[in-house]
Amino acid sequence: MTATIASTAREADLIEYCRQLFSRARNRKRGLYDNWSRNYRLVHNRGPNTGNAASPTPKDSEIFPVLSAIIAWMTDQNVNVNINPAVDPNTTYADAWTQVSQDLQVILESLWINNAQDHQIKLALWDAFTFGPGYFKTIWDQALDKGQGNTKFIRVDPWCLYVDPNASNVYDAEYLIEVRKMTMNEVRRRWPRSATIVDAAGGLGDQIDQRPALDTRAPRSPMANPGPLPSGNGRYGGSMSNPPDIPDNQEVVVYEYWMRFNQSHTEKIDNTEQEFVESKWRCVVVANNQILMDEWAEDLWSYATHPYDQFIPEDFGELYGVPITDHLAQPQQYINRLLGALQQNAELTGNPVFVEPDNSGLERTPIINRPGQRLKLRGPGAMQNAPQWLTPPPMPQVVMDMVQFWISRIENISGLGAAIKGGVNGAPSRTPEGVISTIQEASFVRIRSMLGNLEECLMSIAKKQADLIIDNYNTKRVMALVGPSGEKTSLALKANHFQVPSSDGKVPLEYSLIVQAGASMPTSRTARVAESDQAYALGIIDRQAWFEAHQYPNWPEILTRVNNQIGMGLFQPPGARQRAHH
């Protein structure tokens, strides 16, 4: 389907074409739902019961601390963005471009802090380790900065995103589809001109795929009684002559299609007309079989492609990846089954089965298992037919050995031992700190590999955000900035701040960008601090680098105060007296 045909097609044909793409992607993805549902329940300690209704069903939680520890280590370091202008350093504009690129770098880092982007990263990491992929979507939110708008990225639920089944990732896919529920209020905010026809169609329409519910209990009304407002009028009902309008919370399923089409053009090369074909991305939004939006990506933003990025911890070229929980699920289930057998045996020991013959003479005697109880037997041969407690069979040690075996398999699969997960008994006593750090670093080789994949994902996100900033910062604005170390400042930007005048008009900033999330640094915070201490003692780095390595709170203010006091002779750095005597 070429761009020319698609642009002139009737809406019904376009919607049907989109529906066919959705059906293909959904059929491919539905085969994963059984594993995804099992993984999701196991991570949240909601595994299936291992016995009958009368049997104890203990559920150990080994997967959750493993995933929590990996995610904690992966997000332990600050994300740093470095931007350099793609310009000849010998040109007259080199200094201007350098300053502009520094402003862009500061804005990006500040936005990541102000918009709590670390939280979105953690959500996507939980998705990646539970289901396989973690998805991000870079958007321009016009509601930010008092209506001036700004960029941010959000995590997208893997249950809601459908990818071309012939692709190996979102970057070489021919189409992607995001499906989610929206209220009509949200539809009106996003597409005010098209909301009327969607509202007229009415009804929720389609059902969407969702992750399983953890709490199956029926919802109940809140037990709080809000009472009257300070004005003295009742909050609800009463004698209000003009009651407020009830918001329209009717839900509708919205399909956001991103499709790649071909566009051909001809160029004359050596007096010969040659045809070239290039790809163009198109966004079509559909709800209730009505088109809400139909735009080319190049008309929305300069990077002219879909807004999605993905993180897969261990990328094997599989479209939806292979989550580590798939490997941890079976050991976790076997541990639960063994613990169920142990628990049932322990309960039988404390309350064993009572066996009595028919002629024991205790038909009307209540038997309660308690110390000091005395039973009287009547009838001939009563003592020969005395009732007794049925002794449960002893549980062999091999059961506990099997439990420990499966726990060791989980540690082997994850690469994390008890000490690295935070257990106090994970390391032998009197182990030198240097040995612990060495073991920790050896264990974290796999985490650094995952951090490398995360850095590639965040680099793609940062480029999209940078392009959105360059395109949309077209008016004057003053931004309050908060740095990762607590420094506070502000930045005044002129209109089209990231576009420099030239003989050809306004030229947008061209840049190269790299994101560092810790893949090239020691994963252990102790090791990072030790390196900075040694480098500072040798005079290789200055105080600022030392403060940054230690991530000391409000270090810019402290550094300024220390430098001022040193200049006034009120403060001497460590070793100053010794150096003065020599």
Give the tens place of pLDDT for each residue, 464-489: 999 999 999 988 888 877 655 555 57
**CA pair distance 85, 510, nearest whole angstrom:** 6
Among the ranges given (70-84, 93-107, 306-320, 520-534), the one the predictor scored with the smallest mean pLDDT: 520-534
Phi, psi (5° rounding) for residue 134? -120, 125
Residues 326, 332, 333, 339, Cα dihedral to 10°: 180
Element (H, E) at 453: helix 445-472
pLDDT of 317 over the 50 cut: yes
Across 360-388, b (16+ Cβ under 10 Å) vs e yields bbbeeeeeeeeeeeeeebeeeebeebebe
* DSSP H stretches of helix in 149-232: 184-190, 195-201
> Tens of pLDDT along 168-221?
999 999 999 999 998 888 888 888 877 777 766 555 557 788 888 876 555 555
Question: What distance in Å separates the CA atoms of residue 477 and residue 469, rounded to the nearest whole number?
Answer: 12
Q: Look up tokens 């979102």; give the residue.
A: 170
Task: Enter the pTM of the model.
Answer: 0.80
Provide the percentage of residues in the chain whose pLDDT is more than 90. Answer: 29
pLDDT on residue 51: 57
Look at 508 and 48; give whichever has higher pLDDT: 508
| C-alpha–C-alpha distance, residues 270 and 470, integer Å | 37
Residue 485 · residue 544 · CB < 8 Å: no
SS3 225: coil
Please, are residues 529 and 541 in contact by the beta-carbon 8 Å criterion? no
Element counts in the chain: helices (H) and strands (E): 16, 16
Mean pLDDT, residues 437-451 taken together: 74
DSSP code of residue 235: S
**Residue 288: what residue type?**
N
Question: DSSP code of 158?
Answer: G
H or E segment and range at residue 259 = strand 251-269
**How many whole angstroms separate alpha carbon 173 and alpha carbon 22?**
13
Q: Residues 470, 509: contact at Cβ < 8 Å?
A: yes
Report whether 32 contacts 320 (CB < 8 A): yes
Compute CA distances 581 → 543, 571, 576, 577, whole Å: 23, 17, 9, 6
In terms of Cβ atoms closer than 10 Å to its own Cβ (0-12, 13-18, 19+), residue 478 is exposed
Average pLDDT, the chain: 79
CB atoms within 10 A of CB 424: 7
